[in-house]
Structure 1
């Protein structure tokens, strides 16, 4: 299975909480959103370790996707780090990790909703 990791935005803690609740109700398989107060590789690696265990994902492959994103997207990381700092301490940097098949299914379902 292949995995994708990307940073999707900045959110207030409360908005992130409500979004997580909504996603649980929809029960979207193998797509997980992570929220952190810091834009650090180590922080996201710790989160994906926990998520991988909960979802029975292949930890090495998930970690590789996070590290790959970090290595190949330094401009994007700096951009989001700056947006998080601008937003203030009450906000989170939100990232998504997913198996690629589930992510594709999620995107396709969005196209059919419109």
Structure 2
């Protein structure tokens, strides 16, 4: 399986957890969202432990995709880090991890 990671935004803590409880119930979903209080590699890796209903994925490969993003997207990370440090305390930075094969299936079902 192939996975991809990206930072997608900033959200209030309660909104993020409400979303996780409401939407992320299926272990066969194509993506999962990670919330972190810090814009660091370590904090995003640790946030994989906090997913309420973990999809049935290869989590070692998920971690590798987060590391790969951190090694190759320095400008993107700095942009988000700068935006995130200007926010209030009750805010999380949100990353999205996607299972590329399942995401492709989701897109194909729309056609």
Task: Tell me whether the two structures share a fold, i.e. TM-score over 0.5.
Answer: yes
In 2, Cα distance between the equivalents of 1:107 and 1:91? 31
Separation in 2 of the partners of 1:30 and 1:62? Answer: 13
Q: Contact (CA 8 Å) 1:7, 1:96: kept in 2 or not? A: yes
SS at match of 1:29: coil
RMSD over aligned CA atoms reads 2.5
Match of 2:37 in 1: 37
Matched positions, count:
109
Structure with bigger helix share is 1
Task: Give unmatched runs, 5+ long, in structure 1.
Answer: none
Query: Hey, which bits of structure 1, 4+ residues long, moved more than 6 A?
Result: none
TM-score, normalization by structure 1: 0.78
TM-score (norm 2): 0.80
Distance 2:75 2:8 in 1: 14
Q: Which moved more, 1:31-40 or 1:95-104?
A: 95-104
Q: Deviation per CA, 1:62-88, whole angstroms, max 9, x where unpaired? A: 121111100111111111111111112
